[in-house]
Structure formats: structure tokens, C-alpha cells
């Protein structure tokens, strides 16, 4: 734990940046806005949520671009710009006068302005500070999204109920930036590079090895990892975004579903921390495969058992653990298989797979359920997709020799 003691300041700032950035706020609060926004403007929920698809699918562009910019201008500058841009974009969204086109354009702008607050930036700093405890550091940093999932929903609901949805967008987004920015200004810095003579005295091994983006894209592991992240994002985000409707179909009351969902939020935090500790000790693809067995079991239970409230909590826990593991694994596997030297550019390219999968998942699951008259068919397909994910994780193979020798 010596690395944690030495790097706790950048770790704290990265965790707060993750909590206050686009992933946590957008992913875990939009369900509270859909009712009041659609009621005021006369939109359907599907029209409202298409903005999320626009936002995430732009990750196909913003992920690689922000990775390249990080290599050129530095992660600290981009992190600060991302937090400020995130707050500004939500203020602009809150000013919408009922134009659906403007709504979608505003979320496209959100994707651009807040790109610096993506996990690409916050996890990059960890590579210079952590090696033996890198998994733990990533787990703690990505637990920031779980903290956001725990803190933002009740705060947003209070703001909407007492001051309206516009004020909620403005106050929470700006407040998040105000909370995180001082820590990012003060502590979000990469570890100083050792003097070359010192490195030479220790031997020829360079702890900052790494493939360029072009080199990484020339390996089979890049495409396997990209595919497994795309498929896993489709399944996990599809389940999370449709969880309330799935549980309603099973006869669970909305008030009870809200309690179950809150437990899922806490489980996501646990999943992030647990996978972070495990990948430091065990082969990460094996850990990943084990975690993705859990939602497979949850879906089998959903399809074959009468779901009671207690069973609903169990299902939420199993899905939440896998949801918590997903982004940790994305960051850790990128670092292990392609090296830390060009991490932001490679991570940005791989993140595009995740972003597109997450972007299309909510409408795909919703449309499939509507067409089939329920969720049974799409849940059956999800089992097959999860089995494919498990096989793809295992197909990544052993770590590169450069990684095991440093």
C-alpha cells in the first residue's frame, strides 16, 4: 500500500473528478428529469432518451480525440476544461424552450464540452503513480461513479420537487464542478519522470513501455477487447436503463423498485472496489469472466422464477456487481495489454466501442421489449451475449512480456 500513501492526492482528485464528471451525473440522474421535462414539452420518454444515445454515440469521436489531446496538452488542463464544460453544457440544456432539435444539439454539445471529464482523463494519472496497486487505484477512482449514483439522485429529486428541473440541472452540475475543481487544480498531477541516469542505473527495463494507437490497433487483442466492451455495454446498460420496467413487469411496486435500485447503486461501488483489488492479485480476464457470470445467473432467475422482493434485491446485486466491474476492467486491461506510455490515446480508441454500445442499449432494449410484448426475448438474447463476453475475455490471453517484466 506504499503506492496508495504516496499517490493519495492524485487518487483523491481523480475520484472526485470521476464523481463530478459526465459519467456519474448523466448516467444516474436522467430518469428523474424525464417526467417533468416531457410533461412540460409534450415529448415522449423515447424522444427524451434519444438525447442519451446522441451523447454516448458521439463517444466514437470524442473518445479518440480527447485521448490524442491529452497526449499533446496534458491531462490536468483537459480535466479542468471538462469539468467547466460539463457545468456550462447543462446550464445551456436547462434553457431549452421546447425545441426537440435543440435538445439533441445541446446533448451533442455536452459530449464535446465535457469530454475532458471522461474516465480516459481521470484514470490516465494513475499509470504514473501506481503499478503494484494500479487495480486498487482504478477501483477507487471509478467508485466515484458509484458515489455519484448514491448522492446525486436524492439531491436531484429534491431540487426538482422544490425548484423545478431547470434549477436542478443548473445547481447540481455547477455545484459538482465547484466541488471537484479545487482538488483537480491542486492535486491532479502526473508523477515526475525519474532522471534518465537513475533509470539507466536500474537496468534497461522501462516501466513506461507501451504501444502507440496505430500499433495497438494492429493487434488482435485491441479488437477482442473493443468487441467485448461493446457487447458488455449493450447488455449491462440495457439492463440498467430498463431495470424499472423489467421489475414492473414482474409485479414489483415502483416504491419498492426504487429501494432495490438504491441497493444496486451501492453494489456498483462494491463491484468497482472489489474488482480493483482482485485484478492486482489475479489474471484480470479471469476476474472479468467470473464477474460476468453473475448477471447471467440473474437473467436466468428472472426468466425461470417468480420474482419476489427478496429475489429482486438479489438480481439487483448480481447485475450491480458486473456493472461496477465494467469500467474498471476497461481501464485496467487497456493499461496491462497496451502499456501506460500511450494510454490515453489507446484508451480513447477502445472507449469508443464502450460508448457506442452504451448509447444504443436503452432504445434497443426498449424497442425489442415493445415489439415482443415483454422482456423475455431480449433477456434470452442477453444470456447468449454474456456467454460471448466471457469467452472473449478469456481469449485475451496472457499479459505481454513487457508488462510482466516491469
pLDDT 10s digits, 332-369: 898 889 988 888 888 888 888 888 888 888 888 878 88
Phi, psi of 200 (to 5 degrees): -60, -40
Q: What is the pLDDT of residue 199?
A: 42
Q: What is the pLDDT of residue 93?
A: 95
Average pLDDT over residues 99-108: 94
Matching residue, cell 494500479: 134
Percent of the chain with pLDDT over 90: 34
pLDDT bin (cut points 50, 70, 90) of residue 403 is low
pLDDT bin (cut points 50, 70, 90) of residue 226 is very high
Average pLDDT over residues 280-284: 89
Q: Which of 121, 137, 112 is nearest to 57 (CA)?
A: 112
Map residue 246 onto helix, strand or coil. helix
Q: What is the pLDDT of residue 92?
A: 95
Map residue 342 onto helix, strand or coil. coil
Residues 121 and 17: beta-carbon distance below 8 Å:
yes
- Res 99 pLDDT > 80: yes
Residue 191: DSSP 8-state? P
Among the residue ranges 229-238, 244-253, 294-303, 315-324, the one predicted with the least confidence is 244-253
Q: What is the pLDDT of residue 405?
A: 54
Mean model confidence pLDDT for the chain: 85
Q: What is the pLDDT of residue 194?
A: 56
- For the chain, domains (ranges, CATH) are 7-189 (1.20.1250.20), 213-396 (1.20.1250.20)
pLDDT bin (cut points 50, 70, 90) of residue 193 is low
User: What is the rounded distance in angstroms from the CA atom of residue 377 to the CA atom of residue 367?
Assistant: 12
Grid cell, residue 176, equals: 459538482
Give 138 or 395, the one with higher predicted confidence. 395
- Res 291 pLDDT > 90: yes
Q: Which of 20-29, 107-116, 239-248 has the highest mean pLDDT?
A: 107-116
- Res 18 pLDDT > 60: yes
Q: What is the pLDDT of residue 63?
A: 84
Instruction: Kindly give, in sequence order, each residue whose CB lies less than 8 Å from that of residue 29, ignoring residues fewer than 6 positions away.
Output: 152, 153, 156, 172
pLDDT bin (cut points 50, 70, 90) of residue 110 is very high
Q: What is the pLDDT of residue 197?
A: 45
Q: What is the pLDDT of residue 203?
A: 38
Average pLDDT over residues 364-391: 90
Q: What is the pLDDT of residue 336?
A: 87
Grid cell, residue 93, equals: 440544456
Model's pTM, two decimal places?
0.77
Average pLDDT over residues 378-388: 95
- Res 137 pLDDT > 60: yes
Average pLDDT over residues 137-159: 82
- Res 373 pLDDT > 80: yes
Among the residue ranges 62-76, 208-222, 253-267, 344-358, the one predicted with the least confidence is 253-267
Exposure pattern of 119-154 as b/e (b: 16+ CB <10 Å)? bbbbbbbbbbbbbebbbbbbbbbbbbbbbbbbbbbe
pLDDT bin (cut points 50, 70, 90) of residue 135 is confident
Percent of the chain with pLDDT over 70: 95
Average pLDDT over residues 217-231: 93
Amino acid at each position: 500500500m506504499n503506492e496508495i500513501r504516496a499517490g493519495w492526492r492524485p487518487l483523491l482528485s481523480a475520484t472526485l473528478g470521476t464523481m463530478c464528471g459526465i459519467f456519474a451525473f448523466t448516467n444516474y440522474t436522467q430518469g428523474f428529469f424525464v417526467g417533468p421535462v416531457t410533461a412540460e414539452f409534450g415529448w415522449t420518454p423515447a424522444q427524451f432518451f434519444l438525447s442519451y444515445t446522441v451523447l454516448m454515440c458521439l463517444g466514437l469521436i470524442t473518445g479518440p480525440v480527447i485521448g490524442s489531446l491529452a497526449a499533446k496538452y496534458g491531462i490536468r488542463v483537459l480535466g479542468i476544461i471538462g469539468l467547466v464544460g460539463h457545468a456550462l453544457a447543462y446550464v445551456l440544456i436547462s434553457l431549452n424552450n421546447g425545441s426537440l432539435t435543440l435538445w439533441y444539439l445541446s446533448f451533442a454539445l455536452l459530449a464535446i464540452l465535457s469530454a475532458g471529464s471522461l474516465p480516459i482523463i481521470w484514470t490516465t494519472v494513475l499509470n504514473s503513480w501506481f503499478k503494484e496497486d494500479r487495480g486498487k487505484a482504478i477501483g477507487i477512482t471509478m467508485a466515484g461513479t458509484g458515489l455519484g449514483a448514491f448522492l446525486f439522485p436524492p439531491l436531484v429529486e429534491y431540487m426538482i420537487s422544490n425548484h423545478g428541473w431547470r434549477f436542478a440541472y443548473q445547481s447540481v452540475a455547477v455545484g459538482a464542478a465547484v466541488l471537484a475543481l479545487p482538488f483537480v487544480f491542486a492535486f491532479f498531477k502526473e508523477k515526475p519522470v525519474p532522471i534518465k541516469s537513475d533509470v539507466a542505473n536500474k537496468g534497461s527495463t522501462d516501466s513506461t513501455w507501451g504501444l502507440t494507437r496505430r500499433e495497438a490497433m494492429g493487434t488482435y487483442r485491441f479488437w477482442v477487447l473493443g468487441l467485448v466492451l461493446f457487447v458488455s455495454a449493450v447488455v449491462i446498460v440495457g439492463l440498467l436503463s430498463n431495470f424499472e420496467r423489467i421489475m414492473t413487469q414482474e409485479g414489483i411496486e415502483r416504491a419498492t423498485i426504487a429501494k432495490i435500485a438504491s441497493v444496486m447503486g451501492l453494489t456498483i461501488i462494491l463491484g468497482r472496489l472489489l474488482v480493483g483489488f482482485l485484478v492486482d492479485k489475479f489474471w484480470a480476464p479471469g476476474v472479468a469472466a467470473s464477474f460476468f457470470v453473475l448477471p447471467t445467473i440473474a437473467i436466468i432467475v428472472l426468466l425461470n422464477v417468480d420474482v419476489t422482493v427478496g429475489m429482486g434485491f438479489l438480481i439487483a446485486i448480481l447485475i450491480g456487481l458486473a456493472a461496477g466491474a465494467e469500467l474498471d476492467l476497461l481501464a485496467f486491461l487497456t493499461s496491462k495489454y497496451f502499456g501506460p506510455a500511450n494510454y490515453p490515446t489507446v484508451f480513447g480508441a477502445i472507449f469508443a466501442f464502450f460508448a457506442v454500445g452504451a448509447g444504443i442499449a436503452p432504445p434497443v432494449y426498449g424497442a425489442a421489449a415493445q415489439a415482443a410484448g415483454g422482456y423475455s426475448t431480449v433477456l434470452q438474447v442477453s444470456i447468449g451475449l454474456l456467454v460471448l463476453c466471457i469467452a472473449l475475455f478469456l481469449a485475451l490471453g496472457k499479459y505481454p512480456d513487457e508488462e510482466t517484466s516491469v
